[in-house]
Amino acid sequence: MAVIENFVAQLNNFLYSYLMIYMLIGIGLFFTIRTKFIQFRLLPEMFRVITEKAPIGKNGKKGISSFQAFTISAASRIGTGNVAGVATAIALGGPGAIFWMWLIALIGAASSFIESTLAQVYKIRDGEVFRGGPAYYMQKGLNKRWMGIAFAIAITLCYGFVFNSVQANTIAIAFSNSFGTSRVIMGLILSVLTGLIIFGGLKRIVSITTYLVPIMAIVYIGLALVIMMMNISELPSLFLLIFKSAFGVEEAFAGMIGAAIMNGIKRGLFSNEAGMGSVPNAAATADVSHPVKQGLIQTLGVFIDTLIICTSTAMIVLLSDAYLQADAQSINLTQASLTEHLGSWAGALLAVIIFMFAFSSVIGNYYYGETNIEFIKQSKTALNIYRLLVVAFVFFGSIAKVQLVWDLADVFMAFMALINLVAILMLWKIAKKVLDNYMVQKKAGKEPVFYSDDVGDIGEVDCWERNRQN
């Protein structure tokens, strides 16, 4: 086991030291410039389109709305990465890691726009709902089914199995710390709950995430705001500490600039998922009048995840002294910080919040694997085997070592992101044409509606009608 752990750790360091940092920042900057800083200039439009309702179909039923698709992606995004991941980044990289986490979100938001818009363009209809994502736009937009299959395998292993192990691991540790609950018992409970929901299909997943995600986010942000108000006089010096530590200016963290950059980017990517290729699977499910609408909504999701939820954790941790302890790491650090601020009851409350965060992520992560299993082969047997394996990995994660689980997550995340980043770099011009079409209609005072022949030949498009006026 020690040999495996060492190999995974070394591979992890190689991927992030030489590949991921340059690709994520470089491609994110490229998209930011070519879309004229879309993540900033269309921020008001993001809030407008998120409230748009899904149209009623020919069968009299509503499709999945923009907001519902957003909650599926948020269920996966808002999880242990926001609480345990941020704490781990601070423990390993110092306060400066938060600056690099913010930066990767601001830059990566443009990548999220491109990938989510492409997912809408190339989505397919599956009964009453839509499916789509990177595997689909690799096949239909690039005519590279082999690439789609490679991505589908990577995301299924990454989200369905490894990431769900991470979520279960954090829940089990949090409950063990706060209530003394056996990690084996917690693993069994999580496995049963997971099985009950994932065997119910997409509609059941949507019904859970639509209510669970907003509630858990509001409660957690509320806790952070209370702590910030209690320590309001310390906030200016705290933000100064973050910026100085990010560039090695702060003496106490001067030797940690490399660790700050690496851990900030790794944990930021794990949390907001911009450019990874995961969120497009949720974006494709929405029934909207124009692909850009989901591109904008999922861009907003990056900001909410990192600039609000992750920053909430950073404030909780850095306004305490717990992060200076040598043995502080992962969820233990956040619990210790909350306890220092509010008393022992707060650590127990965090365990409950973590349960909601992480369990909703298990649900969202499962769906990403499901839609990619369907891409490879539509087989009820294969889907049921996948569901059983997801349940098994939830149990495994509950009892596994913390470091091994996180290192595995980082490795699989890197492979998945590399495949997707190459694909969206090859397809970005199509997303740009679709964006230009949206802006022309907006400037003309119209509610944007997309037709498949509005922007020329864009490959195999299934779900968008042709413009009868052309």
119 close to 41: Cβ distance less than 8 angstroms: no
The pLDDT value given to residue 34: 94
3-state SS, residue 131: strand
What gap in Å lies between CA 169 and CA 403, rounded to an integer? 10
Nearest to 38 by CA among 432, 349, 389: 432
Distance set, CA 337 to CA 59, 224, 325, 347 (Å): 52, 11, 11, 8
3-state SS, residue 129: strand
| Residue pLDDT, tens place only, 55-80 | 655 554 556 777 777 776 766 666 66
Alpha helices, DSSP H only, in 199-304? 202-230, 235-246, 257-272, 279-283, 291-303
**Block residue for tokens 């995840």:** 305
Contacts of 24 (CB under 8 A, 6+ apart): 104, 107, 108, 111, 265, 269, 275, 417, 421
State mean pLDDT over 414-432.
Answer: 91
Name the region of 127 (left: φ>0; alpha: ψ -120 to 50; beta: rest): left
366 band by pLDDT with thresholds 50, 70 and 90: confident
Handedness of CA 423, 425, 427, 432 (dihedral sign): positive
Residues counted in the chain: 470
* Domain boundaries defined on the chain: 10-53+62-443
Contacts of 207 (CB under 8 A, 6+ apart): none
What gap in Å lies between CA 190 and CA 185, rounded to an integer? 9
Query: How many C-alpha atoms does 135 have within 13 Å on its Cβ side?
Result: 27
| Residue pLDDT, tens place only, 304-353 | 888 888 888 888 888 887 666 655 555 677 777 877 788 777 777 777 77
What gap in Å lies between CA 65 and CA 247, rounded to an integer? 43
Distance set, CA 45 to CA 48, 49, 206, 290 (Å): 5, 6, 24, 13
| Residue pLDDT, tens place only, 244-275 | 888 876 655 655 677 777 777 777 776 777 88
| Residue pLDDT, tens place only, 449-459 | 998 888 888 88
Whether 32 shows a pLDDT value over 80: the answer reads: yes
Whether 42 shows a pLDDT value over 60: the answer reads: yes
Whether 405 shows a pLDDT value over 80: the answer reads: no
Name the region of 55 (left: φ>0; alpha: ψ -120 to 50; beta: rest): beta
Tell me the one-letter amino acid at 388: L
Query: How many C-alpha atoms does 186 have within 13 Å on its Cβ side?
Result: 27
Q: Which CATH superfamily is domain 10-53+62-443 in?
A: Amino acid/polyamine transporter I (1.20.1740.10)
What gap in Å lies between CA 395 and CA 446, rounded to an integer? 51
The pair of structure tokens assigned to 55 is 């149209």
124: β partners? 131
Share of the chain above pLDDT 90, in %: 20
The CB density around residue 72, as the number of other CB atoms within 10 Å, is 28
| Residue pLDDT, tens place only, 168-207 | 887 888 788 777 788 888 888 888 888 877 776 555 555 6
